[in-house]
Amino acid sequence: MKTWWGVFAWVLLGLQPWGWAQGAATSPIGVAHIALRVSDVDREVDFLGKLGFEEAFANAEGGRTTQAFVKVNDRQFIEVYPATAAGEAPGALGLMHLCYEVEDLKALNDRYSANGLKPTAWRKAGAGNLLFNLQDPDGRVTEFTQYMPGSRQMNDAGQHLGANRVSEELLGVEMPAANIETAKTFYKAMGFDAEQKGEQPHLKLAVNPDVQIVIDAASKGILPESFFAVDDLRKAEAQLEKLGLHGVRDKKQVTVRDPDGNIFALIETGKGSSRHAAK
């Protein structure tokens, strides 16, 4: 499989994998982070720590954590926000947004503008990376970032990589949509290819087919899921049990919930995954 790690390995070698030259400059190349709004940031960071994901850095205001950056790997993070930030009304708990990594943020912004997607103007974010966002048809924010030298994420390279991480790669998410066809059209305009599996569109990136975005029909009780790759599902399941975290098995995946009920799905991809090529 060609994962983001596989693409990165080619870049390190100064080579271009198939499709890179044609699409990477004007397409997302992988998932940079998911952002969760939770009822208790410290409790969530502790839960993620049990999964082996370490906090890399955080922002605080008035002695209260306003944003924690928890590390999956050197280029993928889980951002954790409190339900209520200073001066804000309480926000809905759960998935706030998904952020994609981009090779050339300015070029992608221009492409999306030309395609009528109405991206915000690109800017430099507080952590030191370039950033812009879109609003999807369901009103959710979709972010895009280009990692920059000297940013907090890049300065943390090689650090906070928990030896016992239950997973080393964030694949994507499954999320509900009020209108599946409208959502599919939106993602196609973003540069995704859609494959219909039953009633669910599965979205892929040409430059990184292992990114997994699944659209589900919105209905009562349907919650977003975050997908993480594992080599050996039985080993991951045993690790969860040892930690006292009950995982629910379903064929090639095990799901576990955080204290607020957010769903983390561990998906078996095998040791042959090309994400190991960069190691």
Position 87 scores a pLDDT of 56
Flag whether pLDDT at 9 surpasses 60. no
Q: Dump pLDDT digits (tens) for 40-52.
A: 999 999 999 999 9
Q: What is the DSSP string of 20-42?
A: HHHHGGGSEEEEEEEEEEES-HH
Give domain limits for the chain.
Answer: 27-155, 169-278
Number of DSSP helices (H) and strands (E) in the chain, helices first: 7, 16
The rounded distance, in Å, linking the Cα atoms of 78 and 47 is 12
Measure CA of the first residue to CA of the last residue in the chain; give whole Å: 16
Position 58 scores a pLDDT of 96
Q: Dump pLDDT digits (tens) for 10-63.
A: 333 333 333 333 455 678 999 999 999 999 999 999 999 999 999 999 999 888
Fold match, 27-155 / 169-278: yes
Percent of the chain, pLDDT > 90?
64
Q: Which CATH class is domain 27-155?
A: alpha beta
Average pLDDT, stretch 83-96? 71
Is residue 57 exposed (0-12), middle (13-18) or buried (19+ Cβ within 10 Å)?
Answer: middle
> Tokens at residue 191, please?
């540069």
Q: Dump pLDDT digits (tens) for 169-200.
A: 999 999 889 999 999 999 999 999 988 887 78
> Which pLDDT band, with edges at 50, 70 and 90, does 83 fall under?
confident
User: Looking at the domain 169-278, which fold is it?
Assistant: 2,3-Dihydroxybiphenyl 1,2-Dioxygenase; domain 1 (3.10.180)
